[in-house]
Amino acid sequence: MTQSYDYVIVGAGSAGCVIAHRLTENPDVSVLLLEAGGRDRQFFYRLALGFHSWRYPETNWQYETEPEPHLGDRRIPLPRGKVLGGSSTINGMLYSRGHPLDYDRWRQMGCEGWGYADVLPYFKRSETNWRGEGTYHGGSGPLQVSRIDTRKLVHEPVMEAARKLGYPITDDHHGELHEGFGGGDTTTDRRGRRSSASRAYLDPVRSRPNLTIATGAYATRIRVENGRVTGLDYVQDGKSKTVRAEREVILAGGVYNSPQLLMLSGIGPADDLRSIGIEPICDLPGVGRNLSEHAGYWTEHATREPITLLRELRADRLAISLARWAMFGTGVLASQSNSCHAEVRSRPELEQPDLQLYFNPARGDAKPWFPGIGERQEHRLSVVACLVQPDSRGWMELRSADPRDKPRISLNLMSERSDVDALVRSVEMVREVYETDPLASLISHEVVPGPEVRGKAAIEQWLRNTLIVTHHAVGTCAMGIGSQSVVDPQLRVRGIEGLRVCDASIMPTVPGGNTNAPSIMVGEKAADLIRGTSLPREEVREGLASAA
């Protein structure tokens, strides 16, 4: 028997959880929320330093790229959350919205209603920020945003080196000054627990009688009759099921799954679909295109003394910290291990920061250890650097008409010379910070990329051999007004009635920060678009977007 709901949401990730929460505020509206993964009750999902749970195959889709043509044909892993909360359940929990100009640029591209003044109210509605309610932050939203405790994380030496080099200093990357070196924020609550989209938005409303949550439910096809969506096919517990949507089907599966489901349903590039045996019902050439991602890399410097977080990973200390976290929600395990969050420009003439640097108080592969047992780990400080305003664009397409086949994905990283040059400059900038006291006095030697990697040509080759991504992909169902746009500014799929896409895939360009907070903002704004309401714009004073 086909069940019927007013709205069917595909994907219980960062945006899907928000939309389910907001739509069911109206008791007269029924919502079915489908999630292909399972529930988010594992212990490590809650732990701030447990984000390495993304390595577990059951928690993510285990996507990877095709051989990347500009990276020596390497395949890049692309973990995406396959669990309630989506990637917000397995991510690093760093809270970063991006720059105001990112959103103003969307408006300039024809996305009316998506400028910074339009989206700021939705960022604020989503959060309870540790700073309290104010011009730039909310104080009563579902998402808990906490300050990273930097007291044991080699924070001050990094900050002092930045001051000596003349970088801007900010105590809030989302306040008056959106660039510079400062402390970071994290999506954890006051007890040191992860504040995922599932825990923030679903947990408080699970008992609503008008909300049905189905896990292990894999969507396979959108049903369309006479140009209008009528429902959805999905598989659950090995059984094929169909659900009817009286009002809308809302895709919130993310940057890879939402375009995949569109194409499986005949909505996408017509010639490509025909080539794999799918009869197109709506020719939308932009589906799967415009893929944008933050390319990044790690650097590591060995320290003269054992001053890094590795000390806290000694087995006995770790056990005590775990107990302290479980009982009191305090200690090193209750917060992210990030010494400093920096947003800077690779060239002074740029309008906004194009680099994001995370200074970390430990090596990238740090792991628990026992005194006198096994190989000794060298104490190192590390930096994760990424290019947040990339020009390179990739694509994704179906491998076959089988819904279980993973899509073909190419990020096409470092295909644009501008991206290569900015990344090379960033390596030199990171080195300059480490060569400046008081940070320099703590360092023994550079480990990665290593002293032998000198000069632009050598750095470029090292980047092509080692480049990674920071899992901030967007753009495959881009919002806009041109022929390549997939959804309009109301997030309605062009050419099909009763169908919207509401997740990171609609972002026409990638914001200059982590994408979890912007995805939650998209969910908040999408819910209002669906309900036919909106929050008033919040204008901010001139010059907010620049540190110059």
Residue 153: band (very low, low, confident or very high) from pLDDT cuts 50, 70, 90: confident
Q: Quick one: pLDDT at residue 478?
A: 98
Residue 58: band (very low, low, confident or very high) from pLDDT cuts 50, 70, 90: confident
Q: Is the pLDDT of residue 1 over 60?
A: no
Q: Supply φ then ψ for residue 453, to 5 degrees.
A: -90, 90
The answer to whether residue 171 sits within a structural domain is no
- Closest to 189 in 3D by CA, of 309, 46, 322, 321: 46
Cα 373 to chain centroid, rounded: 37
Report strand pairing: 499-501 vs 239-251.
parallel
Q: Quick one: pLDDT at residue 544?
A: 45
**Domain count along the chain:** 1
Mean pLDDT over each residue of the chain, to the nearest integer: 94
Q: Is the pLDDT of residue 48 over 90?
A: no
The answer to whether residue 227 sits within a structural domain is yes
On the CB side of 67, how many CA atoms lie within 13 Å of its CA?
A: 3
For 194-234, how does the pLDDT look when each residue is reduced to its tens digit (9 = 90+)?
999 999 999 999 999 999 999 999 999 999 999 999 999 99
For residues 498-522, b (16+ Cβ closer than 10 Å) or e, as one string?
bbbbbbbbbbbbbbbbbbbbbbbbb
- Tokens for 311? 């000390």
Average pLDDT over every residue of 164-172: 96
Q: Is the pLDDT of residue 54 over 70?
A: no
Average pLDDT over every residue of 157-181: 96
For 429-479, how does the pLDDT look when each residue is reduced to its tens digit (9 = 90+)?
999 999 999 999 999 999 999 999 999 999 999 999 999 999 999 999 999
What whole-number percentage of the chain has pLDDT above 70?
A: 97
31 carries a ligand binding annotation: no
The answer to whether residue 96 sits within a structural domain is yes
81-85, 87-91, 323-327, 538-542: range with lowest mean pLDDT:
538-542
Residue 185: band (very low, low, confident or very high) from pLDDT cuts 50, 70, 90: very high
Q: Is the pLDDT of residue 541 over 70?
A: no
- Containing H/E element for 466? helix 456-466
The answer to whether residue 180 sits within a structural domain is no
Q: Quick one: pLDDT at residue 331?
A: 85
Determine the structural domain holding residue 16 and report its residue range: 1-35+80-146+212-285+395-409+475-539
- What amino acid positions are annotated as catalytic residues? 472
Q: Maximum CA pair distance of the chain?
A: 71
| Cross-strand bridge partners of residue 78 | 63
Helix pair angle (116-126, 100-108), 10° resolution: 130
The answer to whether residue 126 sits within a structural domain is yes
- Closest to 68 in 3D by CA, of 385, 513, 413: 413
For 2-35, how does the pLDDT look when each residue is reduced to its tens digit (9 = 90+)?
799 999 999 999 999 999 999 999 999 999 999 9
The answer to whether residue 278 sits within a structural domain is yes
Q: Quick one: pLDDT at residue 55?
A: 65
The answer to whether residue 116 sits within a structural domain is yes
For 240-291, how does the pLDDT look when each residue is reduced to its tens digit (9 = 90+)?
999 999 999 999 999 999 999 999 999 999 999 999 999 999 999 999 999 9
CATH of the domain at 100: 3.50.50.60
Q: Quick one: pLDDT at residue 548?
A: 37
State the DSSP string of 303-343.
ESSS-SGGGGGBHHHHHHHHHHHHHHS-SGGGS---SEEEE
Give me the amino acid identity at 450.
Answer: G
Q: Is the pLDDT of residue 546 over 70?
A: no
Rounded Cα distance between 203 and 361, Å, is 33
The answer to whether residue 109 sits within a structural domain is yes
More confident residue, 271 or 544: 271
More confident residue, 151 or 146: 146
